[in-house]
């Protein structure tokens, strides 16, 4: 019985020692970083995603144009709505997507099907496009509101922003049909924000991410530095005299770290983002 009492007393003293807490906190942080890196390495996959610019341009509004005849390819369109929309499609995975990895043709579709007047690629991720990304639009596919797309290879963040001008209002939805090896169907992501222009939308999301990363880094460094300084002081003065203060500090640190860590995981990993090259 005395030996067990001594062991219990020793464990209690070790648990109250500030240096023990510091070591546990550092090991926890290192374990978190290690798991994150290991997850990133192991979870390599192909993932083709797309996003629709929430800002659609109403080129012509039915009933508001008088004395103006709209002609497309020699055909009068009459009094109808004409809308322009931008769709970004890119590879958000770690593995490249080659044309051989496409199990079912990738097709941009309007819902409900409406005639597409014009298709153009307005932006691509690389300045010198080696992906050979192109739209295979024909008179028949455009009439049915469908635009097949193809490429030679899409590496991480490779893709393009495509503009469609179609007959119809902004209520017409756009989706992409197709099937990629291993990853399955093309996934739609949402930017989560609505601002005045596509460029501002893209820049705003990037600024928010950098601010979050910088703030989290500063917070973690501040608390680690604070507890390190206090640990050294307590070692000099006697650790057992400040156990209560350390318990309170440890609780605050853990709550803040867990809160910011959970928010970072949600914001940077789970929460979907817009195209890396903007619309």
- Percent of the chain with pLDDT strictly greater than 90: 28
State the pairing for strand pair 48-52/187-188.
parallel
Is the model's pLDDT at 175 over the cut of 90?
A: yes
Is the model's pLDDT at 43 over the cut of 60?
A: no
Is the model's pLDDT at 167 over the cut of 90?
A: yes
> Using one digit for the tens of pLDDT, what is the confidence trace for 120-139?
988 777 765 678 888 998 88
Compare 269 and 211 and report the one with higher pLDDT.
211
Average pLDDT of the segment spanning 263-272: 56
Compare 207 and 194 and report the one with higher pLDDT.
207
Peptide bond into 81 cis (omega under 30): no
Compare 181 and 251 and report the one with higher pLDDT.
181
What integer pLDDT is reported at residue 195 of this predicted model? 46
Beta strand spans in the chain (E): 48-52, 57-60, 71-72, 75-76, 82-91, 97-98, 102-111, 116-124, 134-135, 146-150, 153-154, 159-167, 173-180, 184-185, 187-188
The C-alpha atoms of residue 106 and residue 87 are separated, in whole angstroms, by 13
State the pairing for strand pair 184-185/159-167.
unpaired
Is the model's pLDDT at 264 over the cut of 90?
A: no
Compare 215 and 238 and report the one with higher pLDDT.
215
CATH number belonging to domain 48-189 = 2.60.40
Is the model's pLDDT at 161 over the cut of 80?
A: yes
pTM above 0.75, yes or no: no
Is the model's pLDDT at 241 over the cut of 90?
A: no
Residue with tokens 């860590």: 261
Average pLDDT of the segment spanning 218-238: 66
Instruction: Report yes or no: 205 and 268 within 8 Å, Cβ to Cβ.
Output: no
What integer pLDDT is reported at residue 7 of this predicted model? 44
Average pLDDT, the chain: 75
Average pLDDT of the segment spanning 81-103: 92
Compare 25 and 39 and report the one with higher pLDDT.
25
- Percent of the chain with pLDDT strictly greater than 70: 53
Q: Which of 89, 87, 86 is nearest to 158 (CA)?
A: 89
pLDDT band at 20 (very low <50, low <70, confident <90, very high): low
- In three-state secondary structure terms, 220 is helix
- In three-state secondary structure terms, 125 is coil
What integer pLDDT is reported at residue 261 of this predicted model? 63
């Amino acid at each position: 019985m005395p030996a067990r009492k001594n062991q219990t007393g020793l464990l209690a003293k070790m648990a109250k020692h500030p240096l023990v807490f510091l070591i546990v906190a550092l090991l926890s942080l290192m374990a978190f970083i290690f798991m994150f890196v290991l997850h990133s390495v192991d979870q390599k996959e192909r993932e083709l995603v797309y996003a629709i610019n929430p800002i659609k341009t109403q080129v012509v509004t039915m009933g508001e144009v008088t004395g103006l005849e709209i002609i497309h390819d020699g055909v009068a369109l009459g009094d109808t709505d004409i809308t322009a929309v931008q769709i970004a499609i890119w590879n958000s995975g770690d593995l490249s997507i080659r044309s051989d990895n496409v199990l079912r043709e990738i097709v941009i579709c309007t819902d409900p099907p409406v005639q597409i007047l014009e298709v153009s690629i307005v932006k691509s991720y690389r300045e010198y496009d080696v992906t050979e990304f192109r739209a295979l639009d024909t008179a028949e596919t455009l009439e049915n509101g469908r635009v097949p797309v193809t490429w030679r290879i899409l590496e991480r963040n490779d893709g393009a922003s495509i503009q469609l001008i179609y007959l119809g209002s902004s209520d017409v939805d756009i989706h992409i049909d197709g099937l990629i090896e291993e990853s399955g169907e093309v996934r739609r992501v949402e930017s989560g924000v609505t601002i005045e222009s596509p460029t501002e939308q893209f820049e705003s999301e990037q600024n928010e991410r950098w601010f979050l990363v910088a703030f989290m880094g500063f917070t973690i460094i501040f608390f680690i530095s604070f507890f390190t300084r206090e640990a050294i002081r307590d070692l000099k003065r006697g650790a057992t005299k400040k156990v209560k203060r350390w318990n309170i500090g440890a609780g605050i640190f853990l709550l803040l770290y867990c809160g910011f860590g959970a928010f970072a995981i949600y914001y940077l990993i789970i929460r979907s983002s817009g195209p890396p090259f903007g619309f």
